[in-house]
Amino acid sequence: MFRRTRLRLVAWNAILVAAILALFAMAIYSDLRARLLSSVDQQTLGQLQPVIQAIRMGRTPPMLIGRPNRPGPGRLSGFGGSDSPLSRLPLGVLIWNAKGQLASPMPNYLSQDDIRKLQLVAQSGKTQTLLLQGHHIRVVIVPVSPGPERQPGQTLNLRPSSPSPSNLSPSSPSDSLSPSNSSQAGAFQGTAASSPVRLMGLRNVDDVAATLLQLRWLTLIGVLIGLLGAVVIGFILAARALVPIRKAWDRQVQFVADASHELRTPISAIQANAEWMLSNPVSLTDRQVHTVHGIFAESKRLSRLLDHLLSLARSDANVTQLSRKRTDVSALTRDVAEQFTPLCEADGIDFVVQVEEGIEADVDPERIRQVLFNLLDNARKFTAHLASPTLGSPQEATPEKMQEATPARSQITLSCNSNRRSVQWVVSDTGIGMNPEEIPRIFDRFYRGDASRSARGTGLGLSIVKWIVEAHGGTIHVRSQHGQGSEFTAIVPIRTHESHHGS
């Protein structure tokens, strides 16, 4: 029990620490990513200012576009050692008109698929990062409207003039920009100077992507190391936290065991004296006989309660060992059924037994016998005769209604079958059943359900049944519906791990 509790504490602690570390790592990553991209965007906007000013003044803007085929100062080295033109692109400029059409020259280093992607970004008007030809390209969108300085009716002529050697080289290393190739002049088109346009700046950010990738790996490794540390520390702290609880639990278990042993002797004496008085009733009046009979019955009940408490105390202390041996489970089940049959007959309950022949398993026969007796006794206690319907007046006593009025007998069914791995016992009844909210608690100690069930039993029988089944490595399940009965299913492995290894 404490081992499972310790593992649950460690698991919850690890989950909480992992969630905190993950949120912290995500916050750091998001903040650094935003700062890096914001720095790139600000640099791009600064280099786009000449184009923006030209458009606002109604003049033909300089077609500033990076010269990726000519490496120079300030150009990026690329990502992964690629020789693609985009890997050395310091800045590219595209202009889109109000209709979402490309109004500037189409660079020769962009494919039609790249242009389609960029067109979607231009239409959205949002700055973002695209993956073009295997490279991370930061796309900055700047809406530009011509200013009041424009001449009426003036158009923006985006058709470039013939490039001169002075235009092919930037004036400074930081301005790595130049006009586009004149061979694309046929693709240029003009637009009205009064029409707003969208200016698009393209910049290679492979180095930023590499930095962010390294940051992701570092944060993942950090989270895993933190999680491992949380598991180790949580395991140690959980063990220390459970020390006083374990000591208190051990004292409680010892008290229950000692009290059971100490009470057994006087209760046995009371039971023996009451039994002797009942065997010699000559000197007793009828009233005294009745009283002594009650004393004898209650002493037997207390004796059973002490046996149950002692069994549970031993199970809690892990001192009870199962005496497993190869057992004829079919014969054991039939023997239990034969002993239980007279009790059902005395209560007017039909007892149906269905046992598969030739079942053998490695079990403790006495404990399995205890399981079956407790389940059958529980079914007998809560199985009542069904009330017969009212016939009404003699005129209404038709043969059909007389057949319906025949009292229906209650029934308890015990079945035993197996597969190649496990033995299954099913005990079902047609008794009062249980409400759905009672089912999860019926295996709790001293739980006896509602008022109709509380006067019967001690509330320990099913707890002992569950302990014995689980000690065999099995499971027990229950299905019940109020007013229609219950069904308990106990499943126990045929072979233990030791017998597997020994075979």
Comparing CA positions, the residue from 64, 67, 199, 209 lying closest to residue 134 is: 209
Rounded (5°) CA angle 314-320-324: 155
Over residues 11-60, the pLDDT tens digits come to 888 899 999 999 999 999 999 999 999 999 999 898 888 888 887 877 76
Instruction: Tell me the sheet residues that pair with 92.
Output: 202
Query: Under a CB-based contact definition with an 8 Å cutoff, are residues 274 and 296 in contact?
Result: yes
Instruction: Tell me the sheet residues that pair with 476.
Output: 490
**Measured between alpha carbons, how far is 367 from 313 in angstroms, rounded to an integer?**
16
Mean pLDDT over 356-385 rounds to: 86
Higher pLDDT: 207 or 57? It is 207
DSSP 402-443: HHHTSPPPPEEEEEEEE-SSEEEEEEEE-S----TTTGGGTT
Q: Provide the mean pLDDT of the chain.
A: 75
Comparing CA positions, the residue from 67, 202, 200 lying closest to residue 144 is: 200
pLDDT at residue 320, as a whole number: 58
Residue length of the chain: 503
Q: Please, what are the domains in the chain?
A: 48-149+174-204 (no CATH), 237-313 (1.10.287), 322-386+408-502 (3.30.565.10)
Bridge pairing between strands 350-355 and 411-418: parallel
pLDDT at residue 164, as a whole number: 33
Give Cα 491 distance to the centre of its chain.
26
Q: How many percent of the chain have pLDDT more than 90?
A: 23
E-assigned strand segments in 45-134: 92-96, 128-132
Query: Under a CB-based contact definition with an 8 Å cutoff, are residues 100 and 122 in contact?
Result: yes
For residue 58, the 8-state DSSP code is: T
**Measured between alpha carbons, how far is 488 from 478 in angstroms, rounded to an integer?**
4
**Measured between alpha carbons, how far is 198 from 204 in angstroms, rounded to an integer?**
20
State the Rg of the chain over Cα: 44
Residue with tokens 């707003």, as numbered in its chain: 196
**Measured between alpha carbons, how far is 136 from 86 in angstroms, rounded to an integer?**
9
Kindly state the tokens that stand for 89.
């692109």
Question: What are the phi and psi torsion angles at 172 (to 5°)?
Answer: -145, 160
Q: Is 192 exposed, middle or buried (0-12, 13-18, 19+ CB in 10 A)?
A: middle
Over residues 211-236, the pLDDT tens digits come to 999 999 999 999 999 899 988 988 88
**Measured between alpha carbons, how far is 480 from 27 in angstroms, rounded to an integer?**
51
Query: Under a CB-based contact definition with an 8 Å cutoff, are residues 230 and 19 in contact?
Result: no
**Measured between alpha carbons, how far is 61 from 80 in angstroms, rounded to an integer?**
35
Query: Is the confidence at residue 80, as pLDDT, over 90?
Result: no
Higher pLDDT: 470 or 388? It is 470
